[in-house]
Amino acid sequence: MAEIKAEPFPFRLDRDAVALIVIDMQRDFTEEGGFGESLGNDVARVAKIVPDVKRLIEGFRAAGLPVIHTMECHRPDLSDLPRAKRERGRPHFRIGDEGPMGRILIAGEPGTAILPELAPAVGETVIEKPGKGAFYATPLDYILKERDIGQLVFAGVTTEVCVQTTMREANDRGYECLLVEEATESYFPEFKSATLAMIRAQGAIVGWTAHLADVLRGIAHA
């Protein structure tokens, strides 16, 4: 057991039971011409975390710990896309439309891919998810339980949407969740700070938050 300095109190890391989950570090959320920008967001804000997410991934790999990636995406025939989700908001391009990087948020399209700098290594699990939460309509829970994983370290985008939704799903399923502050971002800075605060409030009601350097130190010594 190693202790990671975290809020609201230290996180007791079990190296035999921990995995990193990298949420939706896809071109569609971080590059111009993708879904995020189509919704009116400044994608440069979230793209800035890429070097820190890379350091975190590399730290887990170097420690021999599992890394799991998620992608928000839909089937080409849109059979897993609820009408309410497709019609929500006023994007220039709706999910499934042809955009500058291929069809928006459709599996296999160039814009839907994980950023090349953060690409999954051979053997790492990639969860394709049609919802905001990575447990909804995916085999994630089954995969984690098969591997006896009970602790999840989180990175990715966006903090208050897919990251927070997945953390809450995981917390309800009994996983201990820790969010790495420098490795997550929102299009709205106030939403990021509010999410961090609400996760760790009330004695870690959803989970812990910690700084990247402390997490890297913790996993290296676990």
162 binds ligand C5J (CB under 6 A): yes
Nearest to 79 by CA among 91, 58, 96: 96
* Residue 180 dihedral angles phi and psi, to the nearest 5°: -90, 115
- Annotation marks residue 5 as catalytic: no
Size, binding site for ligand C5J by CB under 6 A = 7
| Contact track, ligand C5J, 46-75, x by CB under 6 A | --------------------------x---
- Annotation marks residue 172 as catalytic: no
Give 116-121 contacts, CB < 8 A, sequence gap 24+.
Answer: 117/50, 117/54, 118/22, 118/25, 118/50, 118/53, 118/54, 118/57, 118/69, 120/67, 120/69, 121/61, 121/67
By beta-carbon proximity to ligand C5J, the closer residue of 165 and 171 is 165
158 binds ligand C5J (CB under 6 A): yes
DSSP H or E segment with residue 140: helix 140-146
151 binds ligand C5J (CB under 6 A): no
What is the layout of strands, in order, in the sheet containing 67-72?
125-129, 67-72, 18-23, 151-157, 176-185, 208-210
Q: Which of 28, 73, 132, 162 is catalytic?
A: 162
* Residue 64 dihedral angles phi and psi, to the nearest 5°: 75, 25
- Annotation marks residue 24 as catalytic: yes
CB of 165 vs ligand C5J, minimal distance in Å: 8
175 binds ligand C5J (CB under 6 A): no
134 binds ligand C5J (CB under 6 A): no
Among 157, 167, 177, 199, binds ligand C5J (CB under 6 A): 157
Token pair recorded at residue 161:
């949407």
210 binds ligand C5J (CB under 6 A): no
31 binds ligand C5J (CB under 6 A): no
Catalytic residues: 24, 129, 162
Which residues are at the interface with ligand C5J (CB under 6 A)? 24, 29, 72, 157-158, 161-162
